[in-house]
């Protein structure tokens, strides 16, 4: 069985991250938006690798979540990352993440990281078992939305994403990975069977 990481609303675990990622802090950085070859590239050009360290500049008052999807990647706590590193995950990039307000003051007691997997490294839709899934298709044959998702048993990874637009931002974990996460009191998300993916929002 496979699971997806779904939003769990808790204190200091906002659904939306109000901020920007930057390589350095300077006055006004929050208002300038995001740039950098690691975040944006011209069509057909590959993204540059993540720098070793990044800043999240935010107007949020503070965070206490362990996992949140944002900025085409995921913000994870040190505890989450320590479990992640024990799993079969494929190729991911990781950057240390300092979280500050627009004045440059640190706002988090937890240590955080930013992780991402470029689309070329994600699993293909071939891992989906269409016979056991409940999927609505467009006339073109493209997936419109997924009500219930079944993933083939021969998938070897414990933590992965699927390169399919209707599943953008969703992450999936094996039953073994789910057991590893459930040993700890994780904040901001819950593990839900992929059979119920149509009833939840991604974390």
Measured CA to CA, the distance from residue 83 to residue 124 in angstroms comes to 24
Residue 45 has pLDDT above 90, yes or no: no
- What is the percent of the chain with per-residue pLDDT over 90, rounded to a whole number? 88
Q: How many CA atoms lie within 13 A of 122 on its CB side?
A: 20
3-state secondary structure of 127: helix
Q: Do the beta carbons of residue 90 and residue 117 sit within 8 Å?
A: yes
Beta strands 53-58 and 19-22, pairing class: antiparallel
Q: What's the mean pLDDT when you consider all of the chain?
A: 95
Domain ranges of the chain: 12-120, 125-199
- Could you tell me the sign of the dihedral formed by the alpha carbons of 167, 170, 171, 174, in that order? negative
With a cut of 90, say whether residue 36 has pLDDT above it: no
For the chain, the first-to-last Cα distance in angstroms comes to 19
pTM: 0.94
């Amino acid at each position: 069985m496979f699971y997806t990481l779904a939003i769990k609303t808790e204190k200091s675990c906002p659904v939306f991250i109000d901020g920007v990622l930057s390589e350095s802090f300077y006055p006004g950085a929050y208002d300038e938006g995001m740039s950098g070859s690691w975040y944006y590239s011209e069509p057909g050009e590959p993204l540059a690798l993540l720098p070793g360290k990044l800043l999240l500049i935010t107007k949020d008052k503070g965070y206490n979540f362990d996992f949140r999807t944002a900025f085409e990647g995921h913000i994870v706590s040190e505890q989450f990352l320590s479990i992640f590193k024990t799993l079969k995950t494929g190729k991911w990039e990781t950057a240390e993440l300092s979280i500050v307000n627009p004045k440059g003051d640190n706002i988090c007691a937890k240590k955080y990281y930013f992780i991402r997997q470029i689309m070329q490294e994600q699993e293909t839709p071939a891992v989906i078992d269409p016979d056991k899934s409940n999927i609505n298709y467009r006339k073109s044959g493209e997936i419109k939305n997924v009500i219930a998702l079944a993933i083939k048993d021969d998938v070897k990874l414990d933590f992965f994403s699927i390169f399919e637009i209707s599943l953008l931002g969703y992450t999936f974990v094996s039953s073994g990975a789910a057991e590893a996460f459930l040993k700890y009191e994780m904040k901001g998300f819950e593990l839900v069977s992929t059979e119920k993916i149509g009833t939840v929002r991604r974390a």
